[in-house]
Structure 1
Amino acid sequence: MEGVESPKAPQVSQNQGKRPNQNAHGDGRKPAKTRKKQKPAVEGSHDEVLLLDIQALLEAQKLSDDFAGEAAESNPLPEQGSEIEVEVVEQSSTGDGLALQQGSKQIYVVPFTVKGDIVKVKAYRQIHGQGYTQADFISVIKPSLLRDDSRIRCQYFSRCSGCQFQMLDYSEQLKLKRDIVVKAYRNFSQLAPELVPEILDTIGSPLQYGYRTKLTPHFDGPPGGHRRGPKKSLSERPPIGFTPKTSRKVLDIEDCPIATEAVRKGLTAERTRMDAEFGRYTKGATILLRESTQRVPKPSDGEPTPASPADTLHVAESATHTDYKTCITDNNATSTEYIDSFIFTNPAGSFFQNNNSILPPFTAHIREHILPPTTPPGSKPIRNLIDAYSGSGLFTITQAALFPGGSIGIDIAGKSIEFARRNAALNGLAESQCRFLAADAPELFKSVKDGAYDPDETVVVLDPPRKGCDASFLRQLLQFAPRRVVYVSCNVHTQARDVGVLVRGEVEGLSEEKAEDGAEKKRRVRYDIESIRGFDFFPQTGHVEGVAILNRVEI
């Protein structure tokens, strides 16, 4: 990829990482207890998603829960430090491979592998009663037809936990991510299959490397620094990087090829700074690396070319302007980035999407689908946008031109709302077109009960945190009953759970005789799913963003 220096692909044949203080299970931890009762799938956590994939594989092998427990006992782990050979037969939605040892029914969860790989692993923790064992990847014995290690651009792959799929062709990564969305709705929505439309193909990122505009490497403090007594300073520059799969110690990372050029150069600069300043630190810390852009229009014929800003780390040219890229390390500084012609400023340490290259097609997709394809005769046209969990105004601002009645964004973070208002002004949007409210999301519905927003003329955009929407919010959303809902999520599993609630039109407490304010309920509604599509915000990883479009149906 242009502008991305590709380090020599490492040999992914040996993983030297060791787990400290290993016991008979190989990891220093007590054996997991048998879980007597399976909790409902509602959290969308890594462990919950993994267990559902394992249960599906067990069912595919025609194994009951009882037999799975017997399989675990009849197939004990090898002695500490010994290695076994397994074949990867399925890919989990966590990005891990699910593997079997020949002659055994026990499932091994192995990172950095792909379906069809035969690999050498070290089993380190058996999950009793659930039919699987966690294992460390050691080496590839026979690669899958899908695996090509020459694609790997990072020397830390299979040790750093950040990426899982660098050995795969990008088209295969997108297929896997579509499968993740499919399984999320199968496992978490509690909907009959006929209520879930075919999941559309995942939209890929224009950049597969060199895309991350933010990294937060960290380092540990001096050994024993947590104890009482005089503070000890670091005696040498500590490893600076990320927590690996195979150890609790920080993995020293000199370069990260999925980061933008400015962020990569910023990492080099921070490591050089730490070479001189490590003695100032008595405890560990996290380093912010955030790309910021200064956009300068290209001069007309005869006009002088402006000099680059002194701290420029990378320059990106277009036909109409030049973007000067810098790397911010101060959490309280202001970062700037552009999505097409829209400008957004944010506190550098706060959340904003970390792949700028996909934001133009992503916001264009929302723009193309935020309104219904047609307006049936006798129906009111949609005039209003309500953007829940709006942050610094990504959707409120980029979609505002479509809504003559205006757009409103709400977020609990007052600082984000300050910047959202500033961003609206920077993009030439008057308050009558685009306004923001600093409050918890449920407060939104109190502000619309005054009749300012006709639900028949309103679309609501949801972009909640990974945990999804709480029951109170979903209850109030169903009571308000907007004509259309666009649900954007960084966790397709909790998105599927919440979409299931909206499609059923059921949430705890909604069927009561009276609404929360004591007034009689005027209507009962549910939603149909128009479309579901994934977006690949983080190539080379197992993460996928989801967009679901919903239409109101009267009950």
Structure 2
Amino acid sequence: MQVRESLGLPVNFKTSEDGNSFVVDQQPSTEFRHTELSIVRLSSTGDGIGVDKLEDGTTEIVVVPYSIPGDLVRAKIYKKLEYYSLADFEEVISGGQARDDSLIRCKYFTKCAGCQLQMLPYEKQLLHKREVIVRAYKYFCNVSDGVIPEIGDTIGSPLEYGYRTKLTPHFDVPRNGHLPAVTPIGFTQKGRSFVIDIEECPIGTPAINAEYKKERLRVRDTIGTYKRGATLLLRESMEIDETTKETKKAVCTDSKDIVTEYVNSYRLMYPAGDFFQCNSSILPRVTEYVNTQIKLPLSSNESSTVPAPKYLVDAYCGSGLFSITCNDSVEEVIGVEISPKSVSFATSNAQDNNIANAHFVLGDAAVIFEKISTPPKETSMILDPPRKGCDSTFLNQLLDYLPRRIVYVSCNVHTQARDLAYILSDRRGLKYRVNSIRGFDFFPQTHHVESIAVLTLED
């Protein structure tokens, strides 16, 4: 829409009934059209946005994956929407200044939907992801000027490839039962719903890829027993020999298997099928950063001697990642989860790490703060919700409780920005000051960026 506005083209934003998403109507189908066009922007989903000058003098905006600003590309338009069209990437005619195709490590790049940015130097990826956060807060956090601070630099991952400790390749079985000579096992093709055959994934760890080869052979040998497609699970687990201190990596393929993860000196265990961050290399940086934010002085006055909150409530605590890694910053930690299984694992993880000041309670989404008795003005709270963010029921409970500090960890900066607007625009949340917002790159080579926002309730 920004590109359309810059070209003087009409823009009419239409939103869904709840106001949380834009509505873009699909136009009548047309024949495929090949074109050459220049890319002028990079979207938050990692796709290039190009301007196509048509022979009749009109201008069309086209979304082209695997392209970056400055590229002149050849593309095939396959779908026309109300304000732009979607195209398949075909080739680069001339590359933009930032493009470096020698960085690409995957032969399926430009086909597989998993990665978008392999042709972009890593420092440029981090700059782009900061810009994604800037734009998210510009468009999804409707608050007064000056309320949102300058977005910090995005913290990079120590590993740019070979970092993913979890992969979920999949395959389909035709409904008519006629199996192909070789069943594709891999990931979805960009812009399509079918699976392309992929032997290995460069962003997966070496252990994951080694096990993936074995799983591919197993599926091929038993493909006749499947009546429908399936998704494979590959999750890395690590053990450290207490005597030799040597590490041994295994890969879990059953969702009920128990995974062992080490974050700094802490050992965490959880079921392989449960949610847990899948880039171990960046977890120390993230947990240490969250820890420092919990310990921030309460006042913006640097000479203030008012101590940081002494209690920590970890909402959406899962198996206890932040509760356990941040326990030494406070006197008491209360982890809250609506999953009994997660509460059980979090409790045993705290015991295994000899952490006596953390306990975990089973919460109900409708009354999640019912079991929290710590004084709000002496309490920090960590929020780490799923991609959909926090719902209004939770946010209203949060605003009734008013913790002194909020550290909001998000895997979807757009819903995080929306939620901060909800907090900061409500009369109960008017005294919250946003200390900082910055991104962490859990998924190099992809468009994804996680964001951590810190808020403090002023006196």
TM-score, with length taken from structure 2: 0.91
Name the SS of the counterpart of 2:368 in structure 1: helix
SS of 2:129's partner is helix
- Contact 1:109–1:133 (Cα < 8 Å) also in 2: yes
- 100-109 vs 465-474, which deviates more? 100-109
Q: Pairwise CA RMSD of aligned residues? A: 2.2
Which of 75, 87, 111 is 2:38 aligned to?
Answer: 87
The structure number with the bigger radius of gyration is: 1
**Shift in Å at residue 441 of structure 1?**
4.1
Equivalent residue, structure 2, for 1:499: 420
Is the alpha carbon distance of 1:338 and 1:380 closer, same or farther for their aligned partners in structure 2, counting shifts above 3 Å? closer
CA apart distance, 1:486: 0.4
In structure 2, distance between residues paired with 1:61 and 1:371: 48
Q: 1:246 to 1:56 in 2, by over 3 A?
A: closer
- Map 1:68-217 to 2 at 5 A: 80-102=31-53, 104-128=58-82, 131-217=83-169
Query: What one-letter code is carried by the residue in structure 2 that aligns with 1:497?
Result: R
Task: Give the drift of 1:420.
Answer: 0.8
Q: Tell me, in whole angstroms, the C-alpha distance in 2 between the residues paired with 1:157 and 1:381.
A: 47
Matched, 1:349 2:273: yes
CA distance in 1, matches of 2:181, 2:342: 38
Match of 1:34 in 2: none
For the 8 Å contact 2:294–2:309, the answer to whether it is kept is no
1:340 equivalent in alignment to 2:264: yes
Confirm or deny that 1:391 pairs with 2:315: no
SS at match of 2:33: coil
Question: Which deviates more from structure 2 when the two are superposed, residues 467-476 or residues 197-206?
Answer: 467-476
Deviation at 1:323, TM superposition (A): 1.1
Task: State the shift of 1:236 in Å.
Answer: 4.9
Whether 2:176 is the aligned partner of 1:224: answer yes
AA in 1 matched with 2:278: N
Runs of 4+ aligned structure 1 residues displaced above 6 Å come to 76-79
Per-residue deviation, 1:476: 1.4
Give distance in 2, aligned partners of 1:363 and 1:381: 18
User: What CA distance in whole angstroms lies between the structure 2 residues aligned with 1:484 and 1:83?
Assistant: 54
- Please say if residues 205 and 536 of structure 1, whose CA atoms lie closer than 8 Å, have aligned partners that are also in contact: yes
Distance 2:293 2:50 in 1: 40
- 1:426 counterpart residue number: 352
Paired with 1:356 and 1:440, the residues of 2 have a C-alpha distance of 30
Deviation at 1:415, TM superposition (A): 1.2
Does the 8 Å contact 2:384/2:409 carry over to 1? Answer: yes
2:387 and 2:71 mapped to 1: Cα distance?
Answer: 31
Q: How high is the TM-score relative to the length of structure 1?
A: 0.76
* AA aligned opposite 1:447: K
Contact 1:410/1:440 (8 A) holds in 2:
no
Over 3 Å counting, the alpha-carbon distance change for 1:367 and 1:165 in structure 2 is: same
Deviation at 1:392, TM superposition (A): 0.6
- Whether the 8 Å CA contact 1:387–1:395 is kept in 2: the answer is yes
Q: Given residue 108 of structure 2, which amino acid in structure 1 is its aligned partner? A: Y
State the secondary structure of the residue aligned to 1:446.
coil
How far, CA to CA, are the matches of 1:260 and 1:166 in structure 2?
A: 17
Summarize the Cα distance change of 1:380–1:356 in structure 2 as closer, same or farther, 3 Å threshold.
Answer: closer
Paired AA for residue 355 in structure 2: L
Give the drift of 1:446.
1.4
Matches of residues 267-416 of structure 1 in structure 2 within 5 Å?
267-297=212-242, 299=244, 321-373=245-297, 379=306, 381-404=308-331, 406-416=332-342
Equivalent position amino acid for 1:487 in 2: Y
Whether the 8 Å CA contact 2:30–2:80 is kept in 1: the answer is no
Contact 1:461–1:485 at 8 Å: present in 2 too? yes
Residue 539 of structure 1, CA deviation: 0.2
- Residue 229 of structure 1 corresponds to which residue in structure 2? none
Structure 2 residues not aligned, in runs of 5+ = 14-26
In 2, distance between residues paired with 1:247 and 1:469? 30
Q: What amino acid does structure 2 have at the position aligned with 1:446?
A: E
Cα distance in 2 between the residues matched to 1:85 and 1:248: 26
Shift of 1:193: 3.1
2:365 and 2:415 map into 1 onto residues whose CA distance is: 17
The residue aligned with 2:192 is 247
**Could you give the per-residue CA deviations for residues 18-48 of structure 1, whole angstroms, max 9, x where no partner exists?**
xxxxxxxxxxxxxxxxxxxxxxxxxxxxxxx
Instruction: Please give the alpha-carbon distance, in whole angstroms, between the structure 1 residues aligned to 2:140 and 2:267.
Output: 37
Return closer, same or farther for 1:78/1:328 CA change in 2, 3 Å cut-off: closer
- Residue in 1 aligned with 2:8? 62
Q: 1:469 and 1:237, CA in 2 relative to 1: closer, same or farther beyond 3 A?
A: same
Task: Give the number of equivalent residue pairs.
Answer: 441
Give the whole-Å Cα distance in 1 for the aligned partners of 2:424 and 2:264.
34
Residues 171 and 185, structure 2, Cα contact 8 Å, conserved in 1: yes
Q: Aligned partners of 1:255 and 1:467: how far apart in 2? A: 30
Map Cα deviations across residues 316-343 of structure 1 (whole Å, 9 max, x no partner).
xxxxx22111111111110111001111
Matched, 1:547 2:452: yes
Segment of structure 1 superposing worse, 57-66 or 407-416: 57-66
Structure 2: distance between partners of 1:207 and 1:545? 16
**1:79 to partner: Cα distance:** 6.5
